[in-house]
Structure 1
Amino acid sequence: MDEENLESIGEQLYNLIYPKHKECAGKLTGMLLELPLPVLSQMLQDETMLTAAVDKAVRALQLENKSSEVTLKDEDDASVSSDSMGEQLFQLVDVYNTGHSQKITGMLLEQHKDAVLHLLSDPKCLEKHVNLALKTIKEQNVDETDISDSSEIDDIDKLGEKIFSLVVEMDPLHANNITGMLLEMDLAALQQLLSDHTMLEAAVQKAQTVLNTQS
């Protein structure tokens, strides 16, 4: 079903792009079709969004042509400054509308200069690296959010109750304040406190010191 949708969207995009960009309408349509299906559907209904995406793709094509010329010149001429490469790479990456253009560009720029020049002149290779970088970012985000924010809040509530019951035994007078301070730590650290009593005692003492200086 998606393939049929994509084909139909491709035809509609081509018809919209062709009047202004006759020479490269096919290539521009192909570049836009790399974007997610919901984004493409939105573009067909929003002319401003479509125009912006086409402009990005046109710039990417121009840069691609320029960088191909650069690779044909002498090695000296190919010594494009890092800033210039970063700008070119950012514009090419931005075409994919990942929402992480800045971060992905930074990740790609960590490679050797020759590898970056290769990305600028090889759209297929660039696309592969953008997808890999995006996958890495998404995996990092999953780790950070720990499945979902709501489940993390539930976990913190449960941990809070357990930590409170332990802190009450050590300092009944300030148990509420101390627990509140400890709950500012991240989830992994809280779980560690529960499994390591010595660590919990040290954290409680630290919180007591802070409370003493405030009072």
Structure 2
Amino acid sequence: MDAAEDLETLGEQLYSLIYPKHKENAGKLTGMLLELPGPVLNQMVQDKATLTAGVEKALQALQLAQEHSKGTCKDDDDVSGSSDSLGEQLFEMVDVYNTGHSHKITGMLLEQHKEAVLNLLSDPKLLEEQVNFALKTLKELNMEGTDISDTSDADDTERLGEKIFSLVEEMDPLHANDITGMLLEMDPAALQQLLSDHTLLEVAVQKAQAALDTQNQTLST
């Protein structure tokens, strides 16, 4: 119950933040964002830049869905030419749900007939159901693996740390170690979000840099 109440409170906070700029789509955008992990939602409520980045991704997905619902009656030739672009559009929409498995889930959905994929692009509710089903399937497959243990969690964190370090090093080689250490204090779900969204990563790195600057100034005075 508590979790449901927390989600409801977060939903109300997000809606009130989104509504002033996106009156028409505030409800839909809030609903899409509420599919994200709790720590990411908390971050969005507290940090304007994180919220803006999330809203922009959700808006792109909505626009794609609207375009496809208008364009599904076009000639099949229009669409058949580019299964690549279909895949890209589907990935953009799947990525909004921030499951941490966007590539795998997109691949699974693309195994369906083209008409079914087009239906997913034009029906966000249907897409959400398919994403949840694919995510459940992936989790079940992982549960059957033999390497699910505490050590695999440690390995996952280590792998996450390595990936984040390599990205942070490109932005700030001088402080890459310190910044990566600060970022690794975040929840794994939030870290996955940073890895899948370069804009969010940049925002997080800038915040860490600012914190380091403040720390250094305090030490030097």
* TM-score bucket (shorter structure): 0.5 to 0.7
Where in structure 1 are there 5+ consecutive unaligned residues? 152-215
* Residue number in structure 2 paired with 1:174: none
Superposition pairs for residues 22-37 of structure 1, below 5 Å?
22-37=23-38
- What is the aligned length? 151
Aligned residue identity for 1:116: V
Give me the whole-angstrom Cα distance separating, in 2, the residues matched to 1:26 and 1:42: 19
- Return 29-38 or 94-103, whichever deviates more: 29-38
Give me the whole-angstrom Cα distance separating, in 2, the residues matched to 1:34 and 1:80: 32
* Residue number in structure 2 paired with 1:108: 109
Aligned residue identity for 1:64: A
Give me the whole-angstrom Cα distance separating, in 2, the residues matched to 1:112 and 1:59: 24
Q: Secondary structure at the match of 1:72?
A: coil
Q: CA deviation at 1:38?
A: 2.9
CA deviation string 1:32-82 (max 9, x = no partner):
112233321222122222111111100001000001011133444443520
Over the matched positions of the two proteins, sequence identity in percent amounts to 71
The answer as to whether partners of 2:90 and 2:121 remain within 8 angstroms in 1 is yes
* Residue number in structure 1 paired with 2:11: 10
* Residue number in structure 2 paired with 1:132: 133
Give me the whole-angstrom Cα distance separating, in 2, the residues matched to 1:90 and 1:150: 31
Q: Secondary structure at the match of 1:9?
A: helix
Give me the whole-angstrom Cα distance separating, in 2, the residues matched to 1:71 and 1:87: 17
Give me the whole-angstrom Cα distance separating, in 2, the residues matched to 1:149 and 1:17: 39
* Residue number in structure 1 paired with 2:55: 54
Q: CA deviation at 1:145?
A: 4.3
Aligned residue identity for 1:35: L
**Alignment RMSD, CA only?**
1.9
Give me the whole-angstrom Cα distance separating, in 2, the residues matched to 1:134 and 1:16: 29
- TM-score norm. by structure 2 comes to 0.63
- Return 3-12 or 33-42, whichever deviates more: 33-42
Q: CA deviation at 1:146?
A: 3.4
Q: Which runs of 4+ in 1 moved over 6 A?
A: none
The answer as to whether partners of 2:142 and 2:148 remain within 8 angstroms in 1 is no
The answer as to whether partners of 1:13 and 1:29 remain within 8 angstroms in 2 is yes
* Residue number in structure 2 paired with 1:91: 92
Q: CA deviation at 1:87?
A: 0.8
- TM-score norm. by structure 1 comes to 0.64
The answer as to whether partners of 1:70 and 1:77 remain within 8 angstroms in 2 is no
Q: CA deviation at 1:112?
A: 1.0
The answer as to whether partners of 2:108 and 2:134 remain within 8 angstroms in 1 is yes
Q: Secondary structure at the match of 1:34?
A: coil
Q: CA deviation at 1:149?
A: 5.0
* Residue number in structure 1 paired with 2:119: 118
The answer as to whether partners of 1:70 and 1:78 remain within 8 angstroms in 2 is no
